[in-house]
Amino acid sequence: MGRLTGRNILVVIPKDYFDEGQLDPLLEALDKEDATVNIASSKLKEAIGMKNGRIRPDLLLVDCMEGITGDSYVTEAGHGTRQIKGIYHGVVLVGGKGARKYLWEDKILQLLVADRHKNGFAVAAIGSAVPCLALSGLLEGVMATYEKSKHADVIMEKHSVIIAEENVVSANASLSTDYNIPIITASGKEAIAEFVETYIETVLTTREKP
């Protein structure tokens, strides 16, 4: 039995040009720890990675909002069935070249990560996906790391993020909550091993049930 048995993790990827160097080891580590993992994107069609890797998301982002209340809408033999699967104990945003175009300004994603953090669950982002957390209002005056670029730098500065030089940062968010669950950020795929361990330890501090 792995450390994340009974925990549900939502992994969000850009609908194209995700970074396999981030996603593949993340999924492998979560699987090893027996987490229940759903991959979400803004389309259900097969996503293409930066190195031509391919993966089909399990869910549309808009449908992941049901996970907030404990419902999950699944399809069996062509028929929709509502099942109680439990909420997402954690959300991880995976970066890549497609993050700026497909993740940063996604209002549904912003609402999702803000809600997950507000309700005491583990929110994290890697590399070029980190600005999405800033745009969600979670990183104002908060220490974080990210994949630097001229566009990302503007977002992080605009939202008063305190930039750290470390590859992985665990810090309490600016949004006031009743819980003390930090937000985890990573600079990119070079930090994935450290990021995964930090994130797993953070998920283990969340409530098992809402």
Ranges 22-26, 37-41, 65-69: which has the least confidence: 65-69
pLDDT tens for each residue of 178-200:
788 999 999 999 999 999 999 99
Domain containing residue 13: CATH number: 3.40.50.880
Number of domains in the chain: 1
Percent of the chain with pLDDT over 90: 77
- CA proximity to 22, closest of 191, 197, 202, 198: 191
CA–CA dist 148, 14 (Å, integer):
18
Which amino acid, residue 116? R
pLDDT in tens, 129-169: 999 999 999 999 999 999 999 999 999 999 999 999 999 99
Q: Which domain holds residue 133?
A: 8-203
Is residue 210 situated within a structural domain? Answer: no
Distance CA 81, CA 101 (A): 32
139 belongs to a structural domain? yes
The mean pLDDT of the chain is: 89
On the 0-12 / 13-18 / 19+ scale of CB atoms within 10 A, 78 is: exposed
| Domain presence at residue 62 | yes
In a domain, 132, yes or no: yes
Q: Which residues contact 143 (CB under 8 A, 6 or more apart)?
A: 161, 162, 163, 164, 169, 171
Token duo for residue 172: 């309490």
With respect to residue 49, please indicate whether it lies within any of the assigned structural domains: yes
pLDDT at 38 > cutoff 60: yes
Residue type, 27: L
Which pLDDT belongs to residue 2? 94
Alpha helices (H) along the chain = 20-32, 61-64, 99-102, 107-118, 130-135, 150-158, 192-203
Instruction: Examine residue 94 and state whether it is found in any structural domain, yes or no.
Output: yes
The predicted pLDDT at position 88 comes to 86
Q: Is residue 2 part of a domain?
A: no
Residue 25, SS3 per DSSP = helix
Q: Please tell me the distance from the alpha carbon of residue 91 to that of residue 8, in angstroms, as a whole number.
A: 9
Cβ-Cβ contacts under 8 Å for 126 (sequence gap 6 or more): 19, 22, 26, 92, 93, 94, 95, 185, 186, 188, 189, 191, 192, 195
Q: What are 79-133's pLDDT values in tens digits? A: 444 443 457 899 999 999 999 999 999 999 999 999 889 888 999 999 999 999 9
Q: How confident is the model at residue 76 (pLDDT cuts 50, 70, 90)?
A: very low
Let me know: does 90 contact 124? Beta carbons within 8 Å: yes
